[in-house]
Structure 1
């Protein structure tokens, strides 16, 4: 696919996907969605990639949907649901569970961890995209807002489901009902972010987080744990979680990564895990 509003690279087993419309605050469009999905599928398929880092070009992460793209709905008879269907786009993360085969939720179906590196303003759909990533880091002072209640719109793209599970019902209500701006530091305090990093060297610091993960954990074990983490949000059965984990443990105990992990720990060296088998 020819890329116009995104870009990507691979560095030390980290696939870097960058939203790239800095002159428009990296605002979200159908074209960006198509490119983003295609790139994420490419990273999923690339055996050299062990961790995926998502960030924005310039000073902002993503300021939400492009208002020009939404404006025509005001006076149009065009149906928003029908017009937003994306059957012709790439389908990363699909086929793992039916519940994941939807916009943005597909991040949970990927076999590799996805880190959102929020380098600046994060608004609207970008908050939802960030929520469906596995880990979230932001630059100090970065601003977050759903903005939707101040625009006369509902909570977008599953935020009413996923946000309470990340930060709790009370804090989610504040975010979704007030539409106010939250700084990164407040989002960290409520548990939405895994960390806040200095703004002046944020890109390098966030990339180092991804590189450290890529070099230190077993891709097979991470895939298994990610499947557990999100599948178990669906059934909420602790006993089943225990039994399923025992089956997975029995399987992974027989794989090379376990032998390498034990040997590395005993020899006090960094592990050398193999690539994720397809």
Structure 2
């Protein structure tokens, strides 16, 4: 049986079962549009999953016809006016983008994160998926980086993530035009890794999450996730060499290594003793800037 933690959230249903945390946006009547409560819930979600050693991976999906159909436009023309926004934060006098707070939190997650995009994924519904490790979509899902058609600009750090995922030319095409495109185009461009029949999507995401994590040491996965994502910010391979040498050395002394090698030799499944909550080595190299 899973553990239903839904009462902790306003905009998410969360179930943890078989090592997987499945978080489902639960505003189908609003097409799961993004609001301040969703920001708070998503930040809390990843704090919770990082701290829970029962969680090996996180899957984010939506209820109804949408993954997340962008910002809640209930405030009309004031929707993107930071001076009128609830609970705003700032960086040196500049108001912080709430979507960016979410994507940066996903970026530094200690557990792999998968998107099971079940319908419309527009605006922040598309950009919040960019720092996720594996993106899967229903065959009838649609995407859109529609900011220019709303009079604003790309947010949620998408100017950093999107060109790295699909290349600059495709990123510019989607962002300049603001057009909505189908799942096949998303797949062809590398925005998503696989397409599935709508009824099969969540099961496929669970299968992929277990494939990625069930036989691996959780601490090694947490560290590898940060090494690979943080490596995107480094200017020279020597920068990564300095860091991964230190991380590799710390793992080489761990109880996980002894167990992993013994299990391999004995042809059995490994039972890794180290936990993410207690046994991560120093990760100060992965710290975000002080404002984050």
Q: What SS is found at the alignment partner of 1:127?
A: helix
**What is the number of residues matched between the two proteins?**
261
Q: CA, structure 1 residues 256+10, in 2 after alignment: closer, same or farther (shift >3 Å)? A: same
Deviation of residue 64 (structure 1)? Answer: 0.6
Q: Quick one: distance in 2 between partners of 1:172 and 1:20? A: 30
Q: Quick one: distance in 1 between partners of 2:251 and 2:235? A: 23
Q: Given the alignment of the two structures, is residue 276 of structure 1 paired with residue 276 of structure 2, yes or no?
A: yes
Q: Which residue of 1 aligns with 2:55?
A: 49
What whole-Å deviation, never above 9, does each CA across 1:210-266 have from its counterpart, x for those lacking one? 223331221111111122122222222111212322222121112122223333333
Contact 1:160 1:176 in 2 (8 A): no
Gaps of 5+ in 1: 88-100
Q: What SS is found at the alignment partner of 1:229?
A: helix
Q: Quick check: 27-36 or 208-217, which moved more?
A: 208-217
| One of 62, 65, 80 as aligned partner of 2:71 | 65
Q: Given the alignment of the two structures, is residue 18 of structure 1 paired with residue 28 of structure 2, yes or no?
A: no
Q: What SS is found at the alignment partner of 1:211?
A: helix
Q: Which residue of 2 aligns with 1:250?
A: 249
Q: CA, structure 1 residues 24+243, in 2 after alignment: closer, same or farther (shift >3 Å)? A: same
Q: What SS is found at the alignment partner of 1:266?
A: helix
Q: Which residue of 2 aligns with 1:29?
A: 35
Q: What SS is found at the alignment partner of 1:67?
A: coil
Gaps of 5+ in 2: 1-6, 90-99, 279-292
Deviation of residue 145 (structure 1)? Answer: 0.5
Contact 1:14 1:214 in 2 (8 A): no
Deviation of residue 84 (structure 1)? Answer: 5.7
Contact 1:26 1:56 in 2 (8 A): yes
Q: Quick one: distance in 2 between partners of 1:159 and 1:82? A: 24
Q: Quick one: distance in 1 between partners of 2:111 and 2:199? A: 28
Contact 2:57 2:209 in 1 (8 A): yes
TM-score relative to the length of structure 2: 0.82
Contact 1:108 1:226 in 2 (8 A): no
Q: CA, structure 1 residues 197+255, in 2 after alignment: closer, same or farther (shift >3 Å)? A: farther
Q: Given the alignment of the two structures, is residue 8 of structure 1 paired with residue 8 of structure 2, yes or no?
A: no
Deviation of residue 10 (structure 1)? Answer: 0.3
What whole-Å deviation, never above 9, does each CA across 1:150-186 have from its counterpart, x for those lacking one? 2222112221221011111111111111111222222
Q: Quick check: 182-191 or 116-125, which moved more?
A: 182-191
Runs of 4+ in structure 1 deviating by more than 6 angstroms, as ranges, are none
Q: Which residue of 1 aligns with 2:94?
A: none
TM-score relative to the length of structure 1: 0.86
What whole-Å deviation, never above 9, does each CA across 1:27-84 have from its counterpart, x for those lacking one? 1111122122222211121121111111111232010111114x1517xxx9516736
Q: Which residue of 1 aligns with 2:219?
A: 220
Q: Which residue of 2 aligns with 1:97?
A: none
